[in-house]
Amino acid sequence: MAAVPSAQNGFSLKQFLSFLGPGFLVTVGFIDPGNWAANIEGGSQFGYQLLWVITLSTLMLIVIQHMAAKLGIATGKSLAVNIREYFPVPVSAFLGMTIVIACAATDVAELIGGAIGFHLLFGLPLWAGALLTVILKVFLVVSQRHHRLETIIIGFLGVIACCYLIELVLVKPDWAAAVPALVIPHVNRSSIYFAMAILGAIVMPHNIFLHSNVIHSRKWGISENEKMELLRYEKLDTSVAMLLGWVVNSAMIIVAAAVFSKNNLVVTSIEQASATLRPLAGPLAGLLFAVALVFAGVGSSITSSMAEANVITGFLGKPEDPRTPLYRVAVLVTAIPSFIIILLGMDTFRILILSQVVLSIQLPFTLIPLLILCRDRKVMGGFRSGAGEFAVAVIISAVVIALNIYLLYSTLAGGN
């Protein structure tokens, strides 16, 4: 664990680097295959129009993930444990059920993505790729040492980012159209489903729970003053990691828009995206796509499994410890739906998109308890959210809930 500097030492680059890590575990979770599915189809159908969703989601994410980490620092407990202890049993049980369902949807996306990546790269059958992904994630999660795992995940992120930055050079996007779309909103009934899927793929409820737990891998001191002094390192870790995620997710849509939308091709599967990318952008682009997908699938599968196990053990009041039998069983159990989907030969691309919508619909049931806890002085002490932070978080939650209502209306009205 990183040592605790005194309040008089001021900012230390060495200290900051030693605190980097928890935010990157969260970041790889929203550069997952579910993002690929949502971003690729959104970019192929609507070009650069939905880039603003990536920007908005990332800004929202920085605020929310910081609050989740701060809750973990202030209380010494994860969000799951805090909900269990703070809310009445029926309420906490309901919230626990919804996040477990969301975690299962997440695991579907990660495992299918890893399976597809291994299929594209090595020609493995989907079931074999899924099995390999499970073996890798279980080994790394169960035998985890936080700093070692963080180093592995940062390496994964580096590979993914490099692959997509090279692809941006290869596909030559229309930057005059892409840059304004990063900040100018554009949405209608036909694109709201994909906007929601992209939102759900970035602001992910399981990542909020995960961040409040993995932040304990750092030594935050004993006194409130020490924790307040060190909180800025957490803010920087979160911000730097989230901005890297913004770059990669934006690149996904830009590549899809530059290659598929430009050629009037609507992509309906990740396999189709890979096969189409090769003749349109060259074999190197196709290879980079497959390599990045493998690292995204395995990396996000690792973090989703950690989140699942932490949620299950936390809500049951059991130790959130990878060495316990319950934790290890929880890592395996939530992989079962993914195997069933793969073995039944279901439409994996549609399942990936749907999984992101499930996450987005659950998100208010994570955000609202987080806001309540962070505003309670008895829970947070001196870390209680100020009026400004709380107001921004309320606006974010209101936007998410409003988009969810619009999504349900559009779906029921046949707009999708």
Please give the backbone phi and psi of residue 144, each rounded to the nearest 5 degrees, phi first: -65, 140
| Residue 102 pLDDT | 87
Give 305-327 pLDDT, tens digit per residue: 889 899 999 999 998 887 788 88
Q: Which two tokens stand for residue 275?
A: 């096969």
Among 337, 343, 346, smallest CA distance to 103 is for 337
Kindly list the domain boundaries of the chain, sorted by start residue: 17-412
Domain at 17-412: CATH architecture: Up-down Bundle (1.20)
In this structure, is the dihedral angle defined by the CA atoms of residues 288, 294, 297 and 301, taken in order, positive or negative? negative
Distances (CA, A) of 238 to 53, 306, 386: 19, 18, 19
Give 366-376 pLDDT, tens digit per residue: 999 999 999 99
* CA separation for the pair 313, 317 (Å, rounded): 6
| Residue 156 pLDDT | 92
* CA separation for the pair 78, 83 (Å, rounded): 9
In the chain, % of residues over pLDDT 70: 92
Q: Which two tokens stand for residue 271?
A: 């396999």
Among 351, 358, 355, smallest CA distance to 408 is for 358
Q: Which amino acid is at 360?
A: S
Most confident of 56-70, 136-150, 310-324: 56-70
Most confident of 62-71, 220-229, 296-305: 62-71
User: Regarding predicted confidence, which is higher, 200 or 64?
Assistant: 64
Give 21-40 pLDDT, tens digit per residue: 899 999 998 888 777 878 88
| Residue 380 pLDDT | 94
Q: Are 212 and 129 in contact (CB under 8 A)?
A: no
Residue 5 has pLDDT above 70, yes or no: no
Give 93-107 pLDDT, tens digit per residue: 999 999 988 888 888
Give 164-212 pLDDT, tens digit per residue: 999 999 999 999 999 999 999 988 878 887 887 787 667 889 999 999 9
